[in-house]
Amino acid sequence: MRFLFKTDYDQDIRIAKHSGYYWSYGLLLLIVFAAPFFLEGYYIGQMTQLYIIAMAGVGLMLLAGYTGLVSLGHAAFFGIGAYTEAVLTSNGVPLPFMDEPVVFPFFLSMPLAAIFAALAGVAIGVPVLRLTGIYLAIATFAFALVIEEILSRWESVTNGYTGLLVESLYVGDLELTDGAPFYFLCLGLLIVVLLMSINLLRSPTGRAMMAIRDSEISAQSMGVNLARVKTTAFALSAGVTGLAGALFAHKLGFLSPESFTVFQSLELLVLVVVGGIGSLHGAIFGAIFVLALPQGLAILKDYLPTSIAETPGMEPFIFGLILVLVIIFEPYGIYGRWLKIKHYFQMFPVYKKATFKRQKAYMKSERLK
């Protein structure tokens, strides 16, 4: 058992709560940085994908998990980021005052992709400021469907369903968007995004976000500017997701609107819920889950009788089943389970089950006058 003596107020907001953090996260960093030197190309690609999805998950987590605004349309921001990146880095964009079309280098195009997505986030975030709960979810859902249609119809830019080829990026002779270099790029950006989120969440803005999640009315009474904080949350969340989208464009190499449908949005939401809503760890765990599930099922199929293994609908069925089971039995997702296990060993042998017991609640209408 570890006892934390608090001797300083700064201890409450320190990133590392105690020295153990340096050891565990240091080890994790060491492993992920050493991984590409030991793994095969396929696994490096999978890990890269994991980081990209985790980044998108962090984006949604900031909005859904920390501000309490559930978005059913995050694939739209993902798609906007991806298409912006693809268009900016391909044949070039004609700009005023320039003779030739400008091809953006990646260190400009990626932030631009994030900014574009963030602007889209503000564009949807401001009009729906008054909405909460289910209405907000439906509004973002409609927004995502509209964006999806735009992506497929605006053929002069996005090439519609024919698809858009994404150029590879080079630094000197080194191809940046493949294998180990891309791995490090994604990992680096993920770490930057995570540190930014951690810092955001211990800043006044982050605390205001959490206050809004817990009770909008009390946050307002405490002087939180609801409109500003919500818009900030939307912009940040969309921006981070857009950045992930930009990386995803290079990962795919070929964009078509089918990659950014409503199902992608739902998958991101499932990621957040299964990983553990309201924690950045959850976004990472959720990304692992979303990526590992199809693989795990593919392995499982070898051991099942062919009549079951051959049915096409197996994967979404398991997906839905796990989602339902997690919500019913483990409301804080994989990270919640992790916390419980950790707590068990920390408190050994006096762990009490009731520590994490769910409070019995009665729903009250939001429609009451």
Partner 1 sequence: MSIGCIYALVALGFVLIYKATEVVNFAQGELMMLGAFLAYTFISILGWNYWAGAAAAIFCMFFVGNFVDRIFLRPVLGQPQFSIVMVTIGFGYMARSAAGMVPGWGTETYAISTPFSSEGMSLVPESVGSLVISQTDLSVIIATIILCAVLYAFFTHTRLGVAMQASSQNQLAAYYMGIPVKAVFSMIWGISAAVAAAAGILLAPTTLIDTSMGFIGLKAFPAAVLGGFGSIPGAVVGGLIIGIIETLAGFYLPPGFKNVAAYVVLLVVLVVRPQGLFGQKTGKRV
Choosing from 4, 299, 350, 361, the residue that interacts with partner 1 (CB under 8 A) is 361
Task: Indicate the length of the chain as a whole number.
Answer: 369
366 near partner 1 (CB under 8 A): yes
For residues 237 and 39, what is the distance between their CA atoms, to the nearest angstrom? 32
Instruction: Identify which range of 102-110, 146-154, 204-212, 335-343 contacts partner 1 by CB under 8 A.
Output: 146-154
41 near partner 1 (CB under 8 A): no
Give yes or no for a contact between 291 and 53, defined as CB atoms under 8 angstroms apart. Answer: yes
224, 246, 306, 209: which is closest to 55 by C-alpha?
246
Cα dihedral 203/205/207/213 (nearest 10): -150
Instruction: Identify which range of 25-33, 204-212, 310-318, 342-350 contacts partner 1 by CB under 8 A.
Output: 310-318
Which ranges in 277-351 belong to alpha helices (H)?
280-301, 306-309, 314-329, 333-347
356 near partner 1 (CB under 8 A): no
354 near partner 1 (CB under 8 A): no
Specify which residues 102 forms β-bridges with.
93
Of all helices (H) and strands (E), which one includes residue 86?
A: helix 74-89
297 near partner 1 (CB under 8 A): no
137 near partner 1 (CB under 8 A): yes
> Minimum CB separation from partner 1 for residue 261, in Å?
11
33 near partner 1 (CB under 8 A): no
142 near partner 1 (CB under 8 A): yes
Choosing from 115, 119, 315, 344, the residue that interacts with partner 1 (CB under 8 A) is 315
> Minimum CB separation from partner 1 for residue 197, in Å?
21
Interaction residues for partner 1, span 267-286 (CB under 8 A) = 269-270, 273
Choosing from 106, 285, 319, 335, the residue that interacts with partner 1 (CB under 8 A) is 319
Cα dihedral 202/204/208/214 (nearest 10): 40
> Minimum CB separation from partner 1 for residue 61, in Å?
14
Give yes or no for a contact between 248 and 240, defined as CB atoms under 8 angstroms apart. Answer: no
* Distances from the Cα of 13 to the Cα of 6, 23, 119, 194, angstroms: 11, 19, 31, 16
> Minimum CB separation from partner 1 for residue 312, in Å?
6
Tokens of 161: 């369903």
223 near partner 1 (CB under 8 A): no
CA torsion sign for 213, 215, 220, 226 is positive
313 near partner 1 (CB under 8 A): yes
Choosing from 196, 266, 293, 309, the residue that interacts with partner 1 (CB under 8 A) is 266
Choosing from 317, 342, 352, 355, the residue that interacts with partner 1 (CB under 8 A) is 317
Interaction residues for partner 1, span 66-95 (CB under 8 A) = 70
- Of the pair 70, 187, the CB lying nearest partner 1 is at 70
For residues 177 and 155, what is the distance between their CA atoms, to the nearest angstrom? 26
Specify which residues 175 forms β-bridges with.
170
Choosing from 14, 17, 153, 342, the residue that interacts with partner 1 (CB under 8 A) is 153
39 near partner 1 (CB under 8 A): no
Q: How many residues bind partner 1 (CB under 8 A)?
A: 52
Report helix angle 74-89 to 106-125, nearest 10: 150
Q: Is 110 exposed, middle or buried (0-12, 13-18, 19+ CB in 10 A)?
A: buried
Helix, coil or strand: residue 170: strand
Choosing from 11, 168, 199, 311, the residue that interacts with partner 1 (CB under 8 A) is 311
Instruction: Identify which range of 33-41, 81-89, 229-237, 317-325 contacts partner 1 by CB under 8 A.
Output: 317-325
Tokens of 291: 């990526």
Q: How far apart are the first and last CA of the chain?
A: 50
- Binding residues (CB under 8 A) for partner 1: these are 70, 127-128, 130-131, 133-135, 137-139, 141-143, 145-146, 149, 152-153, 217, 262, 266, 269-270, 273, 311-317, 319-324, 327-328, 331, 358, 360-369
